[in-house]
Structure formats: structure tokens, C-alpha cells
Amino acid sequence: MHRYRCGGRFFGRRVNCEYVPQLPAAVVRAVVDDPRKIPYLLVWRNERTDEVQEAVRVNRCVPQRPGDGELVEVKRTNGTVLRVYFAWRRMPRNGARNLLLFCWRCGKLCRSLYGWEAFGPYTTSARVSDWQCRSCAGLRYASEGGALVLRGRGRWFRSLEMERGRARSERPEPWYPYVFSNPAIASAAGFF
């Protein structure tokens, strides 16, 4: 349940999707389109500490039953495996195709799946979960609800706002993975 403070600002759990490992459909498309049909290694590294936060192996699978759709297998380092179904959708121009991923929880097609969900003792806590869409994981965009607007309380700050307009902080970049087609390259780059 969403709650709001006076002034209409959001109050409650807020985990931004920019700070959660993201599995974009474009990376899955690279795995699917690779003629070598080899697994890819995806690594998410914390930019502040240079520590590897998440690593998965993505491999294209053959459907087990004739009626099943196309899928990839996402395997974490702890051994858990999730099969992610995908679908091709036509783009409006020149017959191009776009790959979209199915969220296993809600069944919607989306451009990205997220590996963590909002959970824990703090309002910004997250835990590892199966790969799911942003809304099923309980995530928000950093820019949602005016969260990037800087608000000052002093007279000086208000006069500065009147002169230059509202101050805004930069929108964070999404946390995309490093993609490797060979684990030896990842090791040579210092990931493991």
C-alpha cells in the first residue's frame, strides 16, 4: 500500500531499479543470435567497491515440448536455474523484429528483468529473487515522483530556486551487466 506524506511526496519502501541487476532483452538477443550457440557470462560489478555482486550464465535452450516457446536458461553461481521465455514482436518500420522477455509472475512481455526485489528491514533494502519485471519486483524509477528534485529549506536556497529554477540531481544509469562470451576473458579482466 502506497502512503504519502503531507505535500504529496511518497513515503514507504523505495528501491530504485537503477540499483538492481538488470537483464536486458538486448543481451538475451545477443545470446540468441550468436551462431556459435555458446553460453554467455554476465557479471554485475559494484562500481564503488569493484566487488562482483551478481554473475549468471545465459544459454539458449531447446524447448522440451513441441508447444513450448523459445527460451533461455539463466543459471546463477549458487546453482539456481530459471528458464526465461522470450517472444519476437514486429517493429512498425521496415519489418524489424524486437525481442521481449516474459515475466514469470505476471506473464507480461518486457524489455528487462530484474534479479533482486524490494524486501528487508529498511526502506531501500533488496534481496536476490528470480528474474522478474520491475512492477513484480516492487521497484521504482529514480525519477518517479520528483525524487530527483533537490529541495532546500533555507531562504537562500529558495531565492536561488526562483533565480535559476528547480535544482535537479542527475538520473542514475541502469545497472547493466558486463557481457563475456568466454570466461577466460572475464578472468583476465579481473572479474574473478
Map out the domains of the chain as residue ranges. Answer: 13-142+176-188
Whole-prediction pTM: 0.80
pLDDT values of the chain reduced to their tens digit, one per residue, 192 residues: 455 555 555 556 778 888 899 999 999 999 999 999 999 999 999 888 989 999 999 999 887 777 777 899 999 999 999 999 999 999 888 888 999 999 999 999 999 999 999 887 776 788 999 999 999 999 988 777 655 555 566 676 667 666 776 666 677 788 899 999 998 998 898 887
C-alpha cell belonging to residue 58: 545465459
C-alpha cell belonging to residue 38: 555458446
Alpha helices in the chain (DSSP H): 25-33, 155-164, 183-188
Tell me which H or E stretch contains 97. strand 97-102
Phi, psi of 70 (to 5 degrees): -75, 145
CB of 41 within 8 A of CB of 186? yes
